[in-house]
Structure 1
Amino acid sequence: MSKGSKGGGSYRSAISGRYVTAKHGKASPHTTVRESAGSGGGNGSHYRSAISGQYVTDAYGKAHPKTTVKES
């Protein structure tokens, strides 16, 4: 499985939006989000906090682009 696949769980940088290695994701928990297979939170796009892993409002996500990830 490649780094970028969403297989069993991968990490995404909140700063760049790119997939990162599991080693980097674990070493940088405040700026990466762990994504599990099938995660999406419903329809449309949402923002997720890299710090808590929780979904946040669009306003919060837009105001904190380095610690949130926009999921489609």
Structure 2
Amino acid sequence: TLLGLWLVRGLAPTRPVLAGFATGAFAGGVAATVYGLHCPESTFVFVGLWYSLGIMACAGLGAVLGRIVLRW
């Protein structure tokens, strides 16, 4: 998430919270994909619940940090 925010900072976003949320969601999605390729657990409940919660946690963190880091 921090690397993504650093890259987005150079684009001078006009809505830092939304840009941080999108950056965090992207980072969480990439992390969930990489983890999912190596995790033997693949039940619907496990994937649907825990992967979604992990992605949303990263998106929330990105939104909070985006408000601070992406301000210009």
Larger Rg: 2
Instruction: Give the TM-score taking structure 2 as reference length.
Output: 0.25
Query: Greater helix percent: which structure?
Result: 2
Query: Greater strand percent: which structure?
Result: 1
Task: Answer 1 or 2: higher relative contact order, Cα 8 Å, separation at least 6.
Answer: 2
Instruction: Give the TM-score taking structure 1 as reference length.
Output: 0.25
